Chains A and B, each alone.
Chain A
Amino acid sequence: MRVCVLNGFDSEEMTVAQERKLEQELEVLNQKGDTVDYFKLRDRKIAYCLGCWDCWLKTPGECRIKDEQEDILKSFVKTDHLVFVSNVRLGFVTATLKKTMDRLIPNFLPYIRVYQNEFHHYPRYEKTPILHTRLIVDHTVERDEIDLIEDYFKRVALNFGSDLKSFKIIDGKGEEDYEFADM
Chain B
Amino acid sequence: MLICNGSPRGEMSNSATIAKWFLKDQDKVILLMKGPKHQEYLDILAAYDHIVFIYPLYVDAMPGIVKAFFERVAIADGLMAGKKVSFIIHSGFPESVHLEVLERYHRILSKKLGFVLADTIVIPGSEGFRLMPPKQNRKKQQDVMKLMDQFRIDQPFDDHLVRRLAGKRQSNKMRNFIFSLLEKTGITNLYWNSNLKRNNAYNKRFDKPYTEL
Contact = CB atoms under 8 A, between A and B. Distances in A.
Interface in B112-164: 112-113
Interface string B159-195: 0000000000011010010011001000011001001
Interface in A90-122: 90-95, 98-102, 104-105, 107, 109-114, 117-120
Contacts, number: 151
Contacts of B93: 112, 118-120
B59 A102 contact: yes
Which bracket fits the contact residues of B? 35 or more
B104 interface: yes
Given A90-B112, A118-B171, A48 B65 contact: yes
A92 B171 CA distance: 28
B5 to A, nearest CB: 12
Interface stretch (A12-20, A24-32, A57-65, A172-180): A57-65
A77 B212 CA distance: 10
B60 interface: yes
B207 A61 contact: yes
B201 A91 contact: no
A148 interface: yes
Query: How many A residues are at the interface, by size bracket?
Result: 35 or more
B122 to A, nearest CB: 15
B176 A117 contact: yes
Interface in A53-87: 56-62, 73-74, 76-78
Given A56-B192, A59-B201, A60-B206, A90 B70 contact: yes
Interface in B66-98: 67-68, 70-71, 74, 93-95, 97-98
